[in-house]
Chain A
Amino acid sequence: MIPESLKKTLEARVASAITAREAAVDVMKELQAHYGWLTDEAVGEAASLLGLSPLQVEELATFYEMIYRRPVGKKVIHVCDSISCWCVDCEGIIEHLKKKLGVGLGETTADGMFTLLPCCCMGMCGDGPAMSVGDVPYGKLTPELVDEILEMERQKA
């Protein structure tokens, strides 16, 4: 269940759109912010707000990698494994992240702080290897820098 105030906000957002679908991403992001991830219940709520079927919301939700359809940690790490980052050894960075956090790709740390996900290019090809933690992008990664960033993000949380 979402609070009435959030529901009103989202209804207004949908009403201001020319077609309901164009408001779908905004609605899903707001619901995700509310629940922590896009729960099945949230998919149903988004569907009724947008006048789509749950399946049609699911089509969009599963397409975007920033919409999470499974529970995630407090902060999600998207680490790039695409071609430009691969050229500057993102594989080493990913291995380091796995070791440091003690998780595999797609898993969440035991303390529920970080979820590690691979991503396919975040447009930081000039600054590879790149990752984002929470919503903050980081580039030119080295194993030492990764350690610093993780510590800092842990402090911030």
Chain B
Amino acid sequence: MPKLIIDDIPVEVAPGTSVLEAARSVGITIPHFCYHPALAIAAACRLCAVKLLDGPVKGIQMSCSLPAQDGMVVSTTDPEALRMRQLVIEWLMMNHPHDCPVCDEGGECLLQDFTIAGGHSRRRYQGKKRTFQNQYLGETIHHEMNRCIECYRCVRFYQDYAGGTDFGVTGSAGRVYFGRFQEGALESPFSGNLVDICPTGVFTDKTGRFRARYWDYEFAPSVCQHCSVGCNTAPQSFQRETIKIVGRRNDQVNGWFICDRARFDKGYLNDPQRPREARLDGATCGYDVAIDAAAKEIDKFVAQNGAESLAFVGSSRLSLEGMTLLAQLARTVDGSRLCYFGNEEELAGSVAAARLLHEKNSAYLGDIEKAECIALYALDLMEEGPMLALAVRKAFLAGAQIYLVDGDPIPARQKLPFTFTAVATLDEVPFEGGGRGVVIAGAGKKDADLLDQLASGGAKLVMLQPGPNAMAGGLLTLEFGGQAFSELASAGKIKGVVCFEADLPDGLIADIEILACADWRTSAAAAKAPVFLPTTTWVESDGTAINYEGRAQRFQRTRVPGLPLRGLDPKYYGSTADAVAEHPPRLHRREVPGGAERDAWRVMAQLIERLGGRTIEEPLTGRWSKLKDLDPEGEGVRVFNLLQGDPRTES
């Protein structure tokens, strides 16, 4: 363990740690552009100069590529080092266009921060600047090569970390250019991370250009709700519109990066057509009126048909709070049925995962990255958990053997960023005594014997889920005995349903009465329901999600619900005849236009009350109450230890 002194602070670090990282560990930030914790060292920007006053090496050194050694005495504030950094910044800024006012990175730009921090504020260079032609890189990323300072972060991420081959660095010396062979959309499904990783404004988010500055944004720690990996994100919103979504570091779940679906698939959040008002028989009404009507519908239906022909249907889009309250709602209407899953296959897979996984055999990101042997069992990894593909690639680069077990072939729509051997059955995968092996199974159909075989193999398990919060659905199905909607519907056991953000399979709701529907998007069920209750999406609500490895993570509300200011419906202006686009409403009002949505769990709590149940202030009760104070900025908590004991009994 090397011991060194940095700015008079004694530091002890693990062997192989760089001086820059050692300084970070005691809270000293040495300016840097090319250093990134997730990437290999490049020592390309020459900015992180420090002076070594004593020890094995002396003088000015680049701290990012200098391993910490015993006896080093480092000064980050030595006048010589300061001057060096100032001159390096001046040199890096020589060709920069100084176009911060029209650059989307302005306000969140490492180059701005370190230029000012380095003390370079007066331009001395009078010559011509080198300029480049930008390339079209697709509809999501804007390219502005003139701002480049040649830190190589983008190409190191794109080629080395993410395994892309269509973007790189060409030229040499002053002509170094980062781009593609020919113009065209970037192929890698992780290309959006160029936006986060570029320290300047070369790569900016095209989907949110020229909308707002960093200090305008409302943002909060959130969790992506596109697949069951549960990557940490920070949606940035302005005037009730989610403008950008950026990755948020969580070393247990997604590291530093997120996939492009998490970053760019956000149109539905801002859609002006999203249902935003409570409706009763097709006409807009107050929210409480609609809830009263829904309660009445339920009472009437139960009186006519009996509670056992009524089902309360949710889905993996619900937060854990919504799911627990759905179970309580089903209990309030005694005898009614509870569904978290649309079909039997999904239910079987999620319940099996909830039953089989525990603290010791459930693999997390680190287990995958350090694995020696990985079996991908019948799944389309790029569809079901893209970020895990990067973890598998990391293991692959470290020498792990990857096998694609073709028991139930699913066509991979996108190329995987690693090479693998295709085998027919799991038996052909040589797990060496179970040491550091990982099986990644998809959300598809799996029979119980096979799952038990997986679990008994000694390898750690990843069971990807069909939806973002399906793991919670599986755990609660075990606890409250839920069924699959398709099973109930096709057997004719139910005549009526109440939907909460449910995705009902087509063709099954023709003969079933939809009593009420609560959702944040339109669906066939919503169109059929006499009562419609708009709910908030994950960016507009606080909640908890449980990912594929049973890790509960809290996401926070990142903006208030309501219509984005841009593109209000004409009905919000004083006159319906002459709408003025992009103007605020001209009526006296207190509430946010289109902001009537409520969190699904609160709607359920109100329904429970109307149906004669108790008043609920706190959705997480019983065994789940331990998750009440979950830190949204923490690494999340695995729930297996919280749920000790028989899952079918409430503690």
A residues engaging B (CB < 8 A)?
Answer: 43, 52-56, 58-59, 62-63, 65, 120
Contact = CB atoms under 8 A, between A and B. Distances in A.
Contacts of A56: 165, 168
Given A55-B180, A62-B177, 11 more contacts: A52-B165, A55-B166, A55-B170, A56-B165, A56-B168, A59-B169, A62-B170, A62-B171, A62-B175, A63-B172, A65-B172
A62 B180 CA distance: 13
B167 interface: yes
A54 to B, nearest CB: 4
Interface string B169-198: 111110101001100000000000000000
B181 A43 contact: yes
A81 to B, nearest CB: 12
Given A43-B181, A58-B181, A53 B165 contact: yes
A65 B165 CA distance: 23
Contacts of B165: 52-53, 55-56
Nearest to B175: A62
Contact of A55 (B171, B172, B175, B181): B181
A58 B165 CA distance: 11
Interface string B141-175: 00000000000000000000000011111111101
Contacts of B172: 62-63, 65
A66 to B, nearest CB: 12
A55 B165 CA distance: 7
B171 A54 contact: no
A53 B181 contact: yes
Interface centre among A56, A59, A65 (most CB of B within 10 A): A59
A43 B182 CA distance: 12
Nearest to A44: B181
Contacts of A58: 168, 170, 181
Instruction: Give me the 4 closest cross-chain CB pairs, A-B, nearest first.
Output: A53-B165, A55-B181, A62-B170, A54-B181
A55 B166 CA distance: 6
Contact of B168 (A43, A55, A65, A120): A55
A18 to B, nearest CB: 17
B170 A59 contact: yes
A45 to B, nearest CB: 14
Nearest to B182: A54
B170 A53 contact: no
Contacts of B169: 59
Listed residue (B173, B177, B181) with the most chain A CB atoms within 10 angstroms of its CB: B181
B166 A53 contact: yes
A63 B181 contact: no
Given A53-B181, A54-B181, A59 B168 contact: yes
16 contacts: A53-B165, A53-B181, A54-B181, A55-B166, A55-B167, A55-B181, A58-B170, A58-B181, A59-B169, A59-B170, A62-B170, A62-B175, A63-B170, A63-B171, A63-B172, A120-B173
B262 to A, nearest CB: 26
A33 to B, nearest CB: 22
Nearest to A60: B170
Contacts of A53: 165-166, 181
B286 to A, nearest CB: 59
Contacts of A43: 181
Nearest to A47: B181
A59 to B, nearest CB: 5
A53 B415 CA distance: 14
Contacts of B175: 62
A108 to B, nearest CB: 19
A141 to B, nearest CB: 24
Interface string B19-46: 0000000000000000000000000000
A62 B166 CA distance: 15
B89 to A, nearest CB: 25
Nearest to B167: A55
Nearest to B173: A120
A55 B179 CA distance: 9
A56 B181 CA distance: 8
Contacts of B171: 62-63
A91 to B, nearest CB: 17
Nearest to A64: B172
Nearest to B165: A53
Contacts of A63: 170-172
